[in-house]
Amino acid sequence: MVKIILASGSDIRAKMLRNAGAVFEVIKPRIDEDMIRDALLAEGASPRDIADTLAEMKARKVSEKHPDALVIGSDQVLDHAGTLYSKPKDRADAKTQLRALSGAKHQLLSAAVICENGKPLWRHIGVVRMQMRDISDTYLDAYLTRNWESIRHSVGGYKLEEEGVRLFSRVDGDYFTVLGMPLLELLSYLSLRGDLET
């Protein structure tokens, strides 16, 4: 079995893989996501391309130092009517974002790329359509008071597996992609290669 490295500082990504019984090491990639995202946006890149490019850069960065391992990079972006949302800067930003998403549909795009020897071997982007309820300001303030510490590192300002689920009336797509990674496709690929027992 080839060594697997998850090039991510995301707790939930590591938890998803661990809960699936995968054996892997975590090495956080050192890339300036905001700088890269802003540059890509300035070039007119789509949310899909931004998620895919960032996922590949994270995987590649770690893979160049660990050429013999399979390195997984992942990135998630929120697309609301063509506008890209990232993790909220602060609580006020989370409130502004959630107000804009209230009563509307948005998409979460979770990209994953596997690199070996610094080169991409596999990639997938999971897409989920989220329909948010009409959220009152009163509820939104109370929600943020209860959840800010937990959701501050989550794209969109919510965690579906926590109180964030109450923000939604519909979720079309797979749960893992909402949490941050197209886990089903990723595990299928690793199993197909024989890097995970089937």
Ligand X SMILES: Nc1nc2c(ncn2[C@@H]2O[C@H](COP(=O)(O)OP(=O)(O)OP(=O)(O)O)[C@@H](O)[C@H]2O)c(=O)[nH]1
Annotated active-site residue 75? The verdict is yes
| Four-CA torsion 55, 94, 101, 36, nearest 10 degrees | -30
Q: Which of 4, 180, 182, 195 binds ligand X (CB under 6 A)?
A: 180
The pattern of x and - marking residues 85 through 124 that bind ligand X according to CB under 6 A reads --x-------------------------------------
CA-CA distances (angstroms) from residue 171 to 55, 79, 107? Answer: 23, 15, 10
Q: Pick from 5, 114, 125, 155: which binds ligand X (CB under 6 A)?
A: 155
Residues 123-152 touching ligand X, rule: CB under 6 A, are none
- Residue number, 53 or 74, with CB nearest to ligand X: 74
Q: How crowded is residue 38: how many other Cβ atoms within 10 Å of its Cβ?
A: 13
Q: Which of 4, 178, 187, 190 binds ligand X (CB under 6 A)?
A: 178
Q: Where are the beta strands (DSSP E) in 14-94?
A: 25-26, 70-80, 83-85
For the bound state, the minimum distance from the C-beta of residue 198 to ligand X, rounded and expressed in Å, comes to 26
Q: Report the alpha-carbon distance of residue 87 to residue 61 in Å, rounded.
A: 22
CB-CB neighbours of 109 under 10 Å: 24
Footprint of ligand X on this chain (CB under 6 A)?
8-10, 12-13, 28, 33, 58, 74-76, 87, 153-155, 159-161, 178-180
